[in-house]
Amino acid sequence: MNAASSFTAEGGCDCGHVRYRMEIRPLFVHCCHCRWCQRESGASFALNAMIEADRVTLLAAEPDLVDTPSDSGKGQMIARCPKCRIAVWSNYAGAGPLLRFVRVGTLDEPDRLPPDIHIFTASKQPWVVIPPGAPAVPEYYEPEKYWPAESLWRRQVLLPRIEEYRAARRRAAPTK
């Protein structure tokens, strides 16, 4: 048994209406310091655990998916509790519903998933201090340089499904 498959973590919204379980260790945990995440979260950064959607089990109610603008212009779907409106994860346009960016702060034990990397540090708040030795990049990065081998393998398994999703979206897009 590998380390990723022996990991589980549960979480949910403030009111408990939406509950979920991560059935495997996330691919990678981003601490994003971009201004868009700062605005969206109302905080200095967003801490997201990237995980395959089929590795997240709903334990209670379905969240509402709210179509929200993003810096890329492609938008994102934010999964929010229909009662308390807490965001529990996002799905970005690139991988759509196949990949979830789980809000680490919604985990019952968020301290179990510290950031693997700090991204978009060029726009971080000047008073935020990144720990010495922590991986940090001014913008984004190449996964091959930072992700563990198991996460890269899981990404390779997921990529054909992402390509199918993107192709279906292109076919469904209205022509101008």
Q: Which of 117, 139, 113, 110 is nearest to 35 (CA)?
A: 139
pLDDT on residue 4: 61
* pTM of structure: 0.91
pLDDT on residue 1: 45
pLDDT on residue 102: 98
- 3-class secondary structure, 49: strand
| Alpha carbons 23 and 31: distance in angstroms, whole number | 21
Q: What is the pLDDT along the chain (176 residues), one digit of tens a residue?
A: 465 668 999 999 999 999 999 999 999 999 999 998 898 888 999 999 999 999 999 999 999 999 987 777 777 899 999 999 999 999 988 899 999 999 999 999 999 999 999 999 999 999 999 999 999 999 999 999 999 999 999 999 999 999 999 999 888 877 76
Backbone phi, then psi, for 9, in 5-degree steps? -150, 140
DSSP conformation class of 4: T
Instruction: Give 3-state DSSP helix, strand, coil % of the chain, rounded to 5.
Output: 30, 30, 45
Angle at 91 between CA 66 and CA 151, to 5 degrees: 165
Which strands sit side by side in the sheet containing 19-22, from one edge to the other? 9-12, 19-22, 56-58
pLDDT on residue 3: 58
pLDDT on residue 176: 61
pLDDT on residue 52: 98
